[in-house]
Structure 1
């Protein structure tokens, strides 16, 4: 009755409400949610990345902070669901078992299993939003940043400073943001009349270790006179690359320019400080949650859009 659930006579409702007020009764939130068949949770699906502490990773920490603040504003709790990278993607089960009322998917990949799971959510009418990933042609709700423009600005900065042979350390192609960064890199070189050379393209997995492991091949190119700068698709790979380059006898920022991406805390404290691209991850997480929980609010975008990014010039370039 206090939850406005089920048929009841108006006079009976008035008597019960009057008695509740006299007794100072406060409805139990958990019972209310159960009666309304709602969990009161917004779910966040996050990938389990081997040997990566998600909550100390700038990318995940910022996005989750934005989601959490928006959830609190809307009187929702945050439920984290950890998924193995190659694990089952039965996202609809979260709704069928009433664990969540809406969900945000982080780390989604452009693979058949992911598409099928997201299509099921859309077909069944379950509310969900992707962050930092798009699936063109699918019509999924998403919040993303303009990574193509960010990559373009990073490479153009290097070109304006006289660098002409610029290598690119990208992330896996299963992520739309990797494709966006490659598009920006390619556009900047093409506009400058420079070719995109296959031997200048490297791939990591956005981890510091993968940047470190790419250092040997990049150092070889630099020592052969093949490159004079490197653009890395995130700061973690850039910082790992810088460590690896030093072991190869190359000083980042002096013998080889390096630019990262994300403007993470590490970019500010590494030596030399890393030139990078600032991405509004906190705002992305907040916008995704509000689009699901408070879509009519004045400060909520009502359609899929790309948040702006900004190049930050420091010592490595």
Structure 2
């Protein structure tokens, strides 16, 4: 794990005091040119950037908070319930506090450098949506954390790291959904999950497994599918999932979009939700109430999560301590898509 250079490191390499390093970068008193040269050379060698990072943070020059969202070609992420609710919550809280929201799109292959946003004076804090478990992402977040810059992750945690985050109880939500179906008498529950690079996918699988463990029943790998949280991936899984419905007529989808795609795909095969099988989604998006039949789902407080993330950033900027990692409860909402009983 690489540690970023700090003021003490620069002072040690330049052979001066930390106070002298501060005076050089803040330009607050006369200094010998030789001293300045040594400090600046040491900072360059150590890749130390205190000026625009620390000063912009302290003075709050931009009064903007960056919200980083994934950019996917041909996909309008802001049209999805998940991102629109989070961003709405963030914007509401920032607006109350006189801060602007700077929406920043990031492609999956783009080099991760969140610190650069502070160096360029574009933001006073950043909220990261859609981060995934890969080395480049972890390194970029670790740099923010080590520099003690105001940041917050939403809906993503990393094992072994104490990064600032707002999340929901996805283990509990998945456990509730799976248990609900098992308690209706279904011997198995078909599960379509999201990619393993997202911690919330791992949490949902953990909750799914815990529901079976509680009943001393082994899960079967043939009943577990992986999508990518898109409607299309649910639709594409319909044919294979339909082959399992004679064995178990219960399905749990890790989000509403995949559930709706699955309902569409199974509908084309002549199978009707709530009549031929029971299905539960996740998120409680607006469209979950509009499907036919309406979709049973797990309600995630996305708007509240966004507001809390913004509040956490603002507290960070003003020097107020806040809890490092927060998880909000979720709620199972029963509708007619699970009206079917096994017996």
Q: TM-score, normalised by structure 1?
A: 0.85
Distance 2:201 2:73 in 1: 20
Distance 1:37 1:6 in 2: 19
> Over the residues paired in the alignment, what is the CA RMSD in angstroms?
2.2
Q: 2:124 aligns with which of 83, 95, 101?
A: 101
Structure 2 residue 340 is matched with structure 1 residue 314: no
Unaligned runs of at least 5 residues, structure 2: 1-25, 29-55, 339-343
Q: 1:268 aligns with which of 289, 303, 319?
A: 289
Question: Which residue is equivalent to 1:293?
Answer: 314
Distance 1:202 1:34 in 2: 45
C-alpha distance 37-163 of structure 1, shift in aligned 2 (>3 A) = closer
Deviation at 1:35, TM superposition (A): 11
Unaligned runs of at least 5 residues, structure 1: 8-32
Question: Which residue is equivalent to 1:194?
Answer: 217
Q: Write the mapping of 1:81-160 to structure 2, written as runs, cut at 5 A.
A: 81-160=104-183
CA contact (8 A) 2:178 2:252 kept: yes
Question: Which residue is equivalent to 2:36?
Answer: none
Question: Which residue is equivalent to 1:54?
Answer: 77
Q: Which whole-Å deviations, capped at 9, do the CAs of 1:207-243 have from their partners, x for residues lacking one?
A: 0000000101100112xx2322110000000000000
Q: 1:227 aligns with which of 225, 231, 248?
A: 248
Distance 1:280 1:73 in 2: 20
Distance 1:236 1:154 in 2: 16
Deviation at 1:88, TM superposition (A): 1.6
Distance 1:221 1:200 in 2: 8
CA contact (8 A) 2:315 2:322 kept: no
Deviation at 1:34, TM superposition (A): 11
Distance 1:146 1:35 in 2: 34
Q: How many residues align structurally?
A: 285
CA contact (8 A) 2:60 2:124 kept: no
CA contact (8 A) 1:295 1:302 kept: no
CA contact (8 A) 1:67 1:288 kept: yes
Question: Which residue is equivalent to 1:259?
Answer: 280
Structure 2 residue 81 is matched with structure 1 residue 44: no
Distance 2:335 2:73 in 1: 31
Deviation at 1:51, TM superposition (A): 2.9
